[in-house]
């Protein structure tokens, strides 16, 4: 960034998240801006045309980092959802009942709706796999243990791939 500033170019990052989607509501787009405050103030009017929420996250690169952490949270939510679905199935609860209830109840999240199918078109295992790898690299660079998150994330990607292939939630015997 210092090299570009020396020649009169300001470098910023502005990651966009499609935000949470509540069933029946219009999606919210969130712009996560990384760069100094002066650049944020200059860019904000333009960024408001891209998103409903424009957030100054911090210095250059921080918008991208927060976007990766956001996607990591969604992937981990998907892994937790898959575990809950397997448990519910083993306890005799019908998958369609769990899907409706978990997608709209107090525990709902974008990760749940993605895994259970209502947002399947917006994501795929290739993109989420890339996001998982990048997010874990960022987390590891920050000095945090990534093992549990990696396991949960890989389980989520496997569950998403199984569902996309039409397998649904595997039975406890097949896991």
What is the tens place of the pLDDT at every residue in 78-105? 888 888 888 999 999 998 899 888 888 8
pLDDT of 169? 45
Element (H, E) at 108: none
pLDDT of 67? 94
pLDDT of 90? 95
Q: How far from 15 is each of 30, 116, 142, 152, 165, CA to CA, in Å?
A: 8, 26, 20, 25, 30
Q: Are 156 and 129 in contact (CB under 8 A)?
A: no
Cα 56 to Cα 64: distance, rounded to the nearest angstrom: 12
Low-confidence ranges of the chain (pLDDT < 70): 1-2, 19-27, 118-125, 163-164, 166-175
pLDDT of 75? 86
* 57: phi then psi, degrees, rounded to nearest 5: -85, -40
pLDDT of 170? 43
pLDDT of 172? 37
């Amino acid at each position: 960034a210092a090299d570009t500033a020396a020649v009169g170019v300001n470098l910023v990052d502005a990651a966009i998240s499609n935000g949470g989607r509540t069933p029946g509501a219009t999606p919210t787009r969130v712009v996560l801006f990384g760069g100094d405050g002066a650049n944020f103030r200059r860019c904000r009017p333009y960024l408001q045309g891209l998103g409903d929420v424009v957030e100054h996250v911090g210095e250059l690169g921080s918008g991208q980092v927060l976007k990766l952490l956001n996607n990591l949270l969604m992937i981990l939510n998907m892994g937790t959802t898959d575990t809950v679905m397997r448990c519910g199935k083993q306890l005799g609860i019908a998958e369609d009942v769990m899907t409706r209830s978990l997608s709209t109840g107090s525990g709902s999240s974008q990760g749940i709706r993605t895994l259970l199918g209502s947002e399947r078109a917006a994501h795929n295992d290739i993109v989420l796999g890339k996001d998982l790898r990048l997010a874990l690299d960022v987390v590891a660079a920050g000095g945090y243990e990534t093992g549990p998150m990696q396991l949960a994330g890989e389980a989520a990607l496997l569950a998403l791939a199984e569902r996309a292939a039409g397998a649904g939630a595997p039975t406890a015997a097949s896991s």
